[in-house]
Amino acid sequence: MNFKIPSKREIRHAWAAGEPVVTTSIIVLCAAVWVVEIVTRYLMPTVFSAIVNWGMAAPVLMVRRPWTWLTSMFLHAPSILHILFNMLALWSVGPMLERMLGHWRFLAFYLISGFGGAAGLMVWARLTGDWGIAAYGASGALFGLFAAMLVVFRRVGADIRSMLVWMAVNFAMPFVMGGIAWQAHVGGFITGGVLAALLTAAVPGTRGRSLTWRMAVFGGAIVVVLVAVVLLCSPQSW
């Protein structure tokens, strides 16, 4: 099978046709970063450690390293199961949500959900005093997408039993396998669920407003809340 990098014209056509360009791009980016991780892990261990330490989300350092809420979403453990499971999960829900939301709104939803996952880690560290935790992976953002699908399915009256089973399996994973940051799962799920509910609900004063307007207003408000949560829970603020 030959792999061909699409031309700009082909990408523009796919974008205009509503194909899952953003979902595919996220998967390609995560896979590329994972390959870099694997290569550096075996050939340049010092570089590998620097990449992971620089990019992972650690509550104790998150305020001083604010980029880590974003970079941690594109890092994965060296085990192929981690990235494979996450990317399969993304492909199972991403294309549908991207078609419903539109490319840029879907990307915003994904990133906000990922930020919610990082905030979940911060809240847990504050509640338990465990500032030694750190995590990376797309799971927080993915659980935000799961929550969005659940909200949408319920709104349209679709059968959500298969979705509930899938989510239950994902929520149960931390209890079966060690080293999984379930706190990020919960944070992403709550964030994605709240945002999806706001986008689909008849909120007073939003009648007739476009989905872009709703995403800007509600998504922006949630980001402000998440920033406040991170700052208030940070060890530097106490």
Could you list the active site residues?
Answer: 139, 185
What backbone torsions phi and psi does residue 64 show, to the nearest 5 degrees? -75, -25
Helix, strand, coil percent content, the chain, rounded in steps of 5: 75, 0, 25
Cα-based distances in Å from 1 to 4, 10, 99, 198: 10, 19, 28, 44
The tokens of 74 are what?
């594109």
Residue 131, classed as helix, strand or coil, is: coil
Question: Kindly report the CA angle at 142 between 28 and 183, in degrees rounded to 5?
Answer: 125
DSSP string, 84-98: HHHHHHHHHHHHHHH
What backbone torsions phi and psi does residue 212 show, to the nearest 5 degrees? -65, -45
